[in-house]
């Protein structure tokens, strides 16, 4: 190979290398463009589940998206934050699953309260809530759940402090829960942070010491004994009242029967008197004599009536007649 051949072939090879570099650059550009397109497209869609809502912020302006499914957003312009809208809960006064409560103290310390009759008592609550406005839940406060917990603790202590220890432990739990819930709902309406209380319940209530616990158990046992005695008394009353009512009905029916019998007897005597009077009107002398004999027979059943004749002889007559022999 001479120098002329080398000189003639050199530029051709250089042109070939330049073409390869251009093709490779174009391919790389297409790849990069495809990757960017994929990134842009993948960031342009988001999915909302049934149990959540989304807040789309466009240049600092938030808007809630409540419909579930696939949605589009403008990349680099819009941002999306999802909010759980199902019912959630947290403990007040005790630790659930080894969690600490909101003030960083153990639950037992947070559950210590004082009643209106100056007794200390441990009361544990469980609060349930849900997000009603995702925009306010994200931007109206830094931690709406913490705010709800603080409000609940305040309302709980205020309400427990207005009841006696006996009501807190036994008979007043339902009323206390209702009053606390109404108080919390009123305060949430005033601050409007996008969350709503669903329910709050007393999980447990007990005195702080074993001696007091035993004393309250004794009181509760006595109350149960009282209830048992009352139930037995009511049972006995319910058993005796029907029999007493039946006996009373029987007495009333007997009295009615006796009354009717006496009325019938009186009516019979009146009828008998009226018939005798009718006979008396017709035959006064004979009727008088007959009535006299009948009366004397009733008064003196063994009396013998002797009628003396005009000649002095005695003739046995009527009522009663002796035997002829």
- Is residue 94 domain-shared with residue 204, that is, in the same domain? yes
- Is residue 151 domain-shared with residue 106, that is, in the same domain? yes
- Is residue 166 domain-shared with residue 77, that is, in the same domain? no
Q: How confident is the model at residue 309 (pLDDT cuts 50, 70, 90)?
A: low
Residue 4 lies in a domain: no
- Is residue 56 domain-shared with residue 97, that is, in the same domain? no
DSSP states of 152-166:
HHHHHHHHHTTS-HH
Q: What tokens were used for 213? A: 């616990």
Q: The domain containing residue 72 runs over which residues?
A: 27-82
Residue 162 lies in a domain: yes
- Nearest-angstrom CA–CA distance, 217 and 74: 66
Residue 35 lies in a domain: yes
- Is residue 60 domain-shared with residue 108, that is, in the same domain? no
- Is residue 101 domain-shared with residue 149, that is, in the same domain? yes
In angstroms, the first-to-last Cα distance of the chain is 202
- Is residue 39 domain-shared with residue 145, that is, in the same domain? no
At residue 275, the pLDDT reads 83
- Is residue 101 domain-shared with residue 180, that is, in the same domain? yes
Residue 296 lies in a domain: no
CA angle 224, 227, 230 (to 5 degrees): 155
Least confident of 41-45, 67-71, 124-128, 284-288: 41-45
Task: Give the number of other CB atoms < 10 A from CB of residue 121.
Answer: 20
Least confident of 32-46, 100-114, 207-221, 310-324: 310-324
Last residue of a domain, one of 165, 192, 208: 208
Express each pLDDT in 113-152 by its tens digit.
888 988 888 899 999 999 999 999 999 888 999 999 999 9
Which of residues 110 and 273 earns the better pLDDT score?
Answer: 273
Residue 73 lies in a domain: yes
**CATH number of the domain that residue 119 is part of:** 3.30.479.30
- Nearest-angstrom CA–CA distance, 32 and 23: 14
- Residue 171's alpha-carbon distances to 15, 216, 230, in angstroms, are 99, 13, 17
- Is residue 78 domain-shared with residue 95, that is, in the same domain? no
DSSP state of 322: P
HEC assignment per residue over 201-262: EEEEEECCCHHHHHHHHHHHHHHHHHHHHHHHHHHHHHHHHHHHHHHHHHHHHHHHHHHHHH
- Is residue 111 domain-shared with residue 193, that is, in the same domain? yes
- Is residue 60 domain-shared with residue 99, that is, in the same domain? no
Q: How confident is the model at residue 18 (pLDDT cuts 50, 70, 90)?
A: low
How many structural domains comprise the chain? 2
Q: How confident is the model at residue 31 (pLDDT cuts 50, 70, 90)?
A: low
- Kindly tell me if the per-residue pLDDT of 97 is higher than 60: no
Helix (H) or strand (E) holding 114: strand 112-114
- Is residue 191 domain-shared with residue 94, that is, in the same domain? yes
């Amino acid at each position: 190979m001479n120098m002329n051949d080398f000189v003639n072939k050199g530029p051709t090879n250089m042109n070939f290398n330049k073409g390869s570099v251009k093709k490779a650059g174009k391919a790389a550009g297409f790849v990069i463009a495809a990757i960017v397109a994929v990134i842009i497209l993948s960031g342009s869609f988001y999915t909302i589940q049934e149990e959540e809502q989304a807040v789309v912020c466009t240049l600092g302006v938030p808007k809630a998206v409540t419909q579930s499914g696939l949605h589009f957003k403008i990349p680099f312009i819009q941002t999306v934050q999802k909010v759980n809208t199902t019912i959630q809960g947290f403990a007040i006064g005790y630790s659930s699953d080894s969690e600490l409560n909101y003030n960083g103290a153990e639950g037992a310390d947070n559950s210590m309260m004082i009643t209106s009759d100056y007794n200390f008592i441990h009361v544990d609550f469980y609060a349930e809530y849900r997000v009603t406005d995702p925009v306010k839940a994200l931007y109206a406060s830094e931690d709406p759940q913490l705010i709800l917990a603080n409000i609940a603790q305040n309302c709980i202590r205020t309400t427990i402090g207005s009841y006696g220890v006996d009501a807190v432990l036994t008979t007043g739990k339902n009323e206390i829960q209702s009053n606390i819930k109404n108080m919390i709902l009123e305060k949430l309406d005033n601050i409007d942070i996008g969350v709503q209380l669903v329910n709050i319940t007393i999980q447990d209530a007990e005195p702080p010491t074993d001696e007091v616990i035993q004393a309250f158990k004794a009181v509760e046992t006595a109350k149960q004994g009282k209830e048992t005695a009352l139930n037995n008394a009511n049972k006995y009353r319910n058993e005796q009242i029907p029999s007493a009512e039946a006996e009373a009905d029987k007495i009333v029916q007997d009295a009615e029967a006796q009354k009717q019998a006496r009325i019938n007897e009186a009516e019979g005597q009146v009828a008998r008197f009226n018939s005798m009077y009718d006979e008396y009107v017709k035959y006064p002398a004979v009727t008088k004599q007959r009535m006299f004999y009948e009366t004397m027979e009733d008064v003196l059943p063994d009396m013998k009536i002797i009628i003396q004749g005009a000649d002095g002889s005695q003739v046995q007559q009527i009522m009663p007649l002796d035997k002829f022999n």
